[in-house]
């Protein structure tokens, strides 16, 4: 025998699916939505994405190398995923220096402050986005017009309409369901293409990167809650279909809420987590100051994850 | 199709030797027979240096209630009774025999005839099994006679025969079911009679359709010789279906309580290899001196199933399968999910050795551990509904009472969590340590 | 302006009310406790290491105050310097104990020497979780010596005083005498039971067998260049009958040893190590050299 025998405890075989492979799958799942965004908003989308990804990777490398002084972690592609998700949450017309700032907040404050991948309690991309949204509301909410429609998002239009006292059906009349599904609407460039995002979600399900629990809980709760409101007062509230197809509903439910580090460990915990997100999102959308509440809802539920993880599911009481 | 309710994984099965008929391995030059090849107290040597022994002769007798007799698997002269390094390099008391010829005890029936009649009382069957030193052949090596004597107040209703063989690579049970079907079925009937159960199932995963068909055929043929109908249950392939608690849940739907035994839900589980050994012991007077061992690995020239005398060095088996590839990096006693890596390949085959797996450089080393990404996959796959990520961390922090609250003692060490971890955290290494510590604490508390 | 006044007034009223409530609650639920406990606790080192057998310094202080005879209570961290003032303060007899230090009884480095050989060669490669306890539970160890140090640093993890470290050159743990408080945590953590608490000795001088291998001489010699082979030469040369030989292993009784160091020169395996003596010639000792 030429070699020294290797000794370790069982098991001796492992799944080929490592962290990098999983993150790679998430990137693949995001590609259709990116393609639709480029088609709808033009090449500006790619510039924002590239800058965001590059900054996230560089910031993570620098912090890991010089502050944490640990082994390089950018190889696991998690910084790339954060970069793409952050970009998806920005308007395509955003100045690039804001993208750099957002990436810094996302990676440096949202992720590396807590020790890096797996230790961050809040979704880093959303930390970056919410920072930009609060600090630079004008740049973050001026969207380029799509197909002759105004630059405001459908949800913002609805909110305006409600404030102005006119009926929600006027807003509804302007909306074409097919356009919403395909992505021909105003908004952050990654969140508009509902169909492409669903396609990506199906890929993640097929590759067993995510389970159905969180997305279904988020979207199901949103649909159920908004359906009740709509049933009670169809003139005041938007229909469930509009709620599901506008704003960050799909991107949030499929890609943001399912982030491993910031979602519960168990599947049933995921159901509670998702239901909470759906509920808070609709509350903010209907009664809050902001037209869209998905980002805030996810961050709020992120904070509750440690509590959800304490619930012991499944084991019979002893 | 039936399977257990929670968790589980699908590792590649790699049953390379499934089509290889059982071959008889030549006798070794010298046999090393450890006195502790079973769970429980070691056996007490009954021979000394210089004694002549024959095949089947008792060389060590059970050293307690939970213990097993050991018989000589070869004939020859005892050269030493001393501690010899086992597969892990730990020195354990063993009888070393220099092999001379192959002389058997005359009471052993070596003819190939199938003996189906048995007029023994249940207690006599159990006594014969105890005398033959039979232990659980699936790898757990729990003395069989103890399992067949339920504690007072508990009654076995269901006998489950484990033909699952969910470990990747291993095929010894598969071959036994195919080639010794009648003997296995007679053995199952004997165990059922000894226990007085009303219902018997044989659980086989459906990746062995030939075994299922063969078992069903023989059961139908032999229905008159059996105490009751034996049902062969095909099971959906999923690891760790061969775990006692998982198999009981898969077949009967009963859940063994935490810290409980199968008998608490009226079940007894026995391996098909054990059934074969029971047949040979009761009907043929042959003690447990040989077993079927799978020798396999992707780089092994000829993966095989060997009928091997206990005490044969593992290196002899490797030679018979074409020799050890030069770039071998790991030799595992057992399957890849629960087997033990060996540091000493001259260690002997024991009663619990179901297979030897030789691993080349591609799969031998573990990938470097990276940060836990909290994906929750370990929680999802745990068949016992534990939280492996939490238990491993509690062990590292030595928070034993929290680990106990997390039911760390329920872990069956199947390795599904570590298999599935994308961050390559050695979850089971830690949990096993924590389980040992917590069990120690529980035991001291109970004894107070 | 009025807003400010209201605000200030409201806060002041609230503060006064809560202060009164707190005062009465504190009176009502006061726990009567021996005030000496607090004082004794302040005299203890405050390491909360548990070496005394109590969960923390508070527990130790309670025991010191309540027990009549405190001879069994000893703080190894603070030593006599701590126990004496406490005993005086309480008016009890001070417990005396010889100052001790942890010593690592394995010198079998697995690292490659410049000439390409190894003191204790490895025959296999452990690839599991980095923990001595786990490696020890997995198998006999990665060298021919099943008694030797595994070098995964369980002792380093448990040390609350940063007094023990793995030397990256030798792969063996080394104790920093000045920092070691002889709390005994590393002794408990080592699955191979290699670490021993020994008398520090006068001026920190001590002689001990740096090996716990109980294998027969021939087996030991094959596994490790510096392993004790149980030849008994040290026993013969010792004039004070301080060395005993049991299970192929020599042990020097720290009480009987007079530090003559004859055994050190006699040992054919260089298993006996002297620490703290002025350097006459460079000894071959590996672990404690140069640190004391």
The Cα of B283 is separated from the nearest Cα of chain A by a number of Å equal to 37
Tell me how far apart the alpha carbons of residues A80 and A89 are, in angstroms, rounded to a whole number. 14
Instruction: Determine the distance in angstroms separating the CA of C223 from the nearest CA of chain B, rounded to an integer.
Output: 13
Kindly state whether residues A154 and A136 are assigned to the same domain: no
Q: Residue A228 domain-assigned?
A: yes
Give dist(CA B260, CA B434) in Å, integer: 19
Residues A198, A160, single domain; the answer is: yes
Q: Which of A84, A108, A140 delimits the end of a domain?
A: A140
* ipTM of the shown complex: 0.90
Of A118, A140, A162, the last residue of a domain is: A140
- The pLDDT assigned to C228 comes to 94
* Facing residue for C134 by CB, picked from A5, A6, A9: A9
User: How far is C-alpha C197 from the geometric centre of its chain's CA atoms?
Assistant: 7
Contact A5 C124 (CB under 8 A): yes
Residue A191 and residue A131 share a domain: no
Minimal C-alpha gap between A103 and chain B (Å)? 20
Q: CA–CA distance from C284 to each of B276, C201, C290 (Å)?
A: 61, 21, 12
For an interface test with A, the pick among C120, C121, C122, C128 (most A C-beta atoms closer than 10 Å) comes out as C128
With respect to CATH, is domain C100-275 assigned 3.90.550.10?
no
pLDDT of residue A149: 60
pLDDT tens by residue, B128-182: 999 999 999 988 899 999 999 988 889 999 999 999 999 999 999 999 999 999 9
Question: Do A254 and A296 have their domain in common?
Answer: yes
Domain boundaries, chain C: 36-90, 100-275
* Longest Cα separation, chain A: 85
pTM value is 0.89
Contacts of A among chains (3+ CB pairs under 8 A): B, C
Q: What is the mean pLDDT of residues A128-154?
A: 82
- Confidence band for A150, pLDDT divided at 50, 70 and 90: low
Chain A residues with CB-CB distance to C128 below 8 A: 7-9
Torsion of CA B242, B248, B250, B251, to 10 degrees: 110
Q: Both A88 and A164 in a single domain?
A: no
Residues A50 and A179 in one domain: no
Point out the residue among C122, C123, C127 whose CB comes nearest to the CB of A8: C127
pLDDT at A316 exceeding the cut of 50: no
| Reported confidence tier of residue A20, pLDDT bands at 50, 70, 90 | very high
Chain-chain contact of B387 with A265 (C-beta, under 8 angstroms): yes
Do A276 and A306 lie in one domain? The reply is: yes
> What does the mean pLDDT of chain A come to?
89
The mean per-residue pLDDT over the stretch A112-117 comes to: 92
Give the three-state DSSP class for B375.
coil
On whether both A294 and A156 belong to a single domain, the answer is yes
Residues spanned by CATH 3.40.50.11540 within chain B? 122-284
| A208 band by pLDDT with thresholds 50, 70 and 90 | very high
Average pLDDT, chain B: 93
pLDDT digits (tens, 9 = 90+) for C239-249: 999 999 999 99
Task: Check: CB of residue C149 under 8 Å from CB of residue C173.
Answer: yes
pLDDT in tens, A227-261: 999 999 887 788 888 889 888 899 999 999 999 99
pLDDT-based confidence at residue A166 (cuts at 50, 70, 90): low
Is A263 among the domain residues? yes
Question: B126 vs chain A: nearest CA distance in angstroms?
Answer: 34
Task: Tell if the CB–CB gap between A22 and B375 is shorter than 8 Å.
Answer: yes
Q: CATH fold of C36-90, please?
A: 3-methyladenine DNA Glycosylase II; Chain A, domain 3 (1.10.15)
**Does one domain contain both A86 and A133?**
yes
- A317 has a pLDDT exceeding 50: no
Tell whether the model's pLDDT for residue A163 goes beyond 90. Answer: no
Pairing of strands B22-24, B304-309: parallel
Report, as an integer, the average pLDDT of B43-55: 95
C55 interfacial to chain B (CB closer than 8 Å): no
Contact call for residues A19 and A76 (beta carbons, < 8 A): yes
User: Does one domain contain both A203 and A130?
Assistant: no
Chain C CA closest to residue B429: C129
What parts of chain C have a pLDDT lower than 70? 280-292
The average pLDDT across A135-161 equals: 77
Residue B429 with chain C: CB contacts under 8 Å: 128-129, 131, 134
Same domain, A129 and A43: yes
Q: What range defines the domain where residue A91 resides? A: 19-140
Where residue A146 falls among pLDDT bands split at 50, 70, 90?
A: confident
Together in a domain, A161 and A122? no
Confidence of residue A314 (pLDDT cuts 50, 70, 90): low
> What SS3 state is found at A213?
helix
Q: What's the CA gap between C16 and B294, in Å, rounded?
A: 82
Contact between C128 and A9 using a beta-carbon 8 Å cutoff: yes
pLDDT mean over A153-180: 73
Say how many domains are in chain A.
2
Q: Which CATH number fits domain B122-284: 3.40.50.720, 1.10.760.10, 3.30.110.30, 3.40.50.11540?
A: 3.40.50.11540
Res B255: pLDDT: 92
């Amino acid at each position: 025998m030429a070699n020294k025998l290797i000794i370790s405890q069982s098991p001796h075989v492992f799944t080929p699916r490592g962290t990098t492979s999983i993150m790679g799958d998430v990137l693949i799942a995001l590609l259709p939505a990116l393609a639709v965004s480029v088609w709808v908003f033009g090449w500006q989308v790619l510039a924002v994405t590239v800058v965001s990804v590059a900054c996230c990777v560089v910031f993570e490398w620098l912090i890991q190398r010089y502050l944490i002084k640990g082994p390089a972690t950018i190889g696991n592609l998690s910084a790339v995923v954060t970069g793409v998700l952050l970009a998806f949450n920005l308007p395509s017309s955003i100045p690039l220096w804001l993208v750099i700032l957002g990436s810094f907040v996302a990676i440096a404050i949202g992720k590396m402050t807590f020790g890096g991948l797996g230790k961050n309690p809040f979704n880093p991309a959303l930390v970056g986005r919410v920072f930009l949204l609060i600090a630079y509301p004008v740049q973050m909410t001026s969207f380029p017009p799509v197909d002759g429609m105004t630059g405001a998002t459908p949800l913002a239009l609805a909110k305006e309409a409600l404030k102005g006292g006119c009926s929600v059906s006027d807003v509804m009349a302007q909306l074409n369901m097919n356009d919403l599904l395909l992505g021909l609407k105003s908004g952050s460039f990654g969140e508009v293409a509902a169909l492409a995002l669903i396609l990506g979600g199906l890929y993640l399900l097929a590759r067993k990167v995510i389970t159905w629990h969180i997305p279904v809980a988020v979207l199901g709760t949103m649909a159920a809650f908004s359906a009740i409101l709509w049933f009670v007062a169809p003139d005041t509230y938007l229909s469930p279909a509009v709620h599901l197809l506008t704003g960050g509903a799909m991107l949030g439910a499929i890609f943001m809420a399912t982030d491993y580090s910031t979602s519960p460990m168990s599947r049933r915990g995921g159901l509670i987590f998702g239901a909470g997100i759906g509920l808070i999102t609709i509350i903010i959308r209907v009664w809050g100051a902001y037209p869209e509440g998905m980002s805030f809802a996810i961050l709020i539920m992120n904070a509750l994850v440690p509590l959800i993880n304490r619930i012991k599911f499944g084991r019979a009481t002893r | 199709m039936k399977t257990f309710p929670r968790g589980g994984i699908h590792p590649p099965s790699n049953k390379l030797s499934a089509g290889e008929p059982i071959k008889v391995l030549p006798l070794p030059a010298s046999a090393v027979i450890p006195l502790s090849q079973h769970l429980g107290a070691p056996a007490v040597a009954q021979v000394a240096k210089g004694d002549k022994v024959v095949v089947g002769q008792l060389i060590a007798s059970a050293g307690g209630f939970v213990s097993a007799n050991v018989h000589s698997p070869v004939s020859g002269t005892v050269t030493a009774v001393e501690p010899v390094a086992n597969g892990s390099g730990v020195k354990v008391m063993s009888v070393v025999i220099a092999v001379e010829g192959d002389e058997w005890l005359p009471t052993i029936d070596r003819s190939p005839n199938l003996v189906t009649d048995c007029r023994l009382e249940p207690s006599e069957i159990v006594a014969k099994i105890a005398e033959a030193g039979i232990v659980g052949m699936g790898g757990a090596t729990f003395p069989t006679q103890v399992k067949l004597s339920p504690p007072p107040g508990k009654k076995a209703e269901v006998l489950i025969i484990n033909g699952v063989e969910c470990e990747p690579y291993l095929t010894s049970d598969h071959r036994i079911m195919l080639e010794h079907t009648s003997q296995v079925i007679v053995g199952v009937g004997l165990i059922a009679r000894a226990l007085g159960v009303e219902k018997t199932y044989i659980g086989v995963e459906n990746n062995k359709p030939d075994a299922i068909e063969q078992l069903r055929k023989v059961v139908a043929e032999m229905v008159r010789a059996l105490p009751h109908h034996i049902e062969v249950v095909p099971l959906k392939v999923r690891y760790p279906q061969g775990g006692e608690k998982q198999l009981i849940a898969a077949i009967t739907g009963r859940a063994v309580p935490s810290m409980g035994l199968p008998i608490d839900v009226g079940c007894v589980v026995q391996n098909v290899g054990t059934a074969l050994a029971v047949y040979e012991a009761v009907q043929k007077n042959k003690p447990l001196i040989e077993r079927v061992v799978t020798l396999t690995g992707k780089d092994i020239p000829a993966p095989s199933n060997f009928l091997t005398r206990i005490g044969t060095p593992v290196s002899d088996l490797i030679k018979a399968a074409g020799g050890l590839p030069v770039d071998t990096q790991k030799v595992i006693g057992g399957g890849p999910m629960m087997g033990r890596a060996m540091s000493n390949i001259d260690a002997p085959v024991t009663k619990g050795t179901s297979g030897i797996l030789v691993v080349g450089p591609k799969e031998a080393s573990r990938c470097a551990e990276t940060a836990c990404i909290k994906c929750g996959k370990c929680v999802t796959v745990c068949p016992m509904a534990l939280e492996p990520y939490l238990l491993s961390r509690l062990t590292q922090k030595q928070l034993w009472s929290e680990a106990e609250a997390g039911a760390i003692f329920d872990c069956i060490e199947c390795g599904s969590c570590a298999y599935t971890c994308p961050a390559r955290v050695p979850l089971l290494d830690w949990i096993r340590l924590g389980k040992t510590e917590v069990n120690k604490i529980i035991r001291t508390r109970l004894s107070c | 302006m009025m807003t400010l006044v209201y605000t200030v007034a409201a806060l002041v009223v609230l503060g006064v009310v809560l202060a009164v409530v707190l005062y009465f609650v504190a009176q009502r639920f006061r726990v009567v406790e021996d005030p000496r406990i607090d004082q004794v606790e302040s005299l203890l080192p405050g390491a909360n290491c548990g070496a005394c057998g109590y969960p923390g310094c508070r527990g130790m202080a309670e025991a010191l105050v309540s027990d009549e005879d405190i001879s069994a209570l000893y703080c190894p961290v603070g030593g006599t310097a701590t126990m004496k003032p406490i005993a005086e303060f309480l008016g009890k007899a001070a417990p005396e104990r010889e100052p001790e230090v942890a010593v690592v009884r394995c010198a079998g480095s697995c690292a490659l020497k410049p000439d390409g050989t190894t003191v204790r060669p490895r025959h296999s490669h452990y690839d599991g979780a980095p923990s001595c306890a786990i490696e020890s539970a997995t198998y006999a160890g990665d060298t021919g010596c099943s008694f030797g140090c595994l070098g995964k640093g369980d002792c380093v993890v448990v040390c609350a005083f940063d007094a023990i470290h793995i030397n990256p050159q030798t792969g063996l743990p080394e104790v920093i005498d000045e920092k070691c408080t002889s709390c005994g945590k590393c002794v408990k953590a080592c699955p191979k039971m290699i670490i021993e608490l020994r008398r520090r000795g006068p001026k920190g001088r001590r002689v001990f067998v740096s090996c716990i291998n109980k294998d027969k001489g021939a087996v030991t010699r094959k596994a490790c260049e510096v392993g004790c082979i149980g030849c008994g030469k040290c026993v013969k040369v010792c004039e004070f009958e301080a060395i005993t030989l049991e299970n192929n292993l020599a042990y020097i009784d720290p009480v009987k040893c007079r530090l003559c160091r004859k055994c050190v020169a006699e040992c054919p395996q260089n298993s006996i190590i002297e620490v703290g003596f002025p350097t006459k010639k460079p000894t071959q000792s590996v672990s404690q050299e140069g640190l004391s």
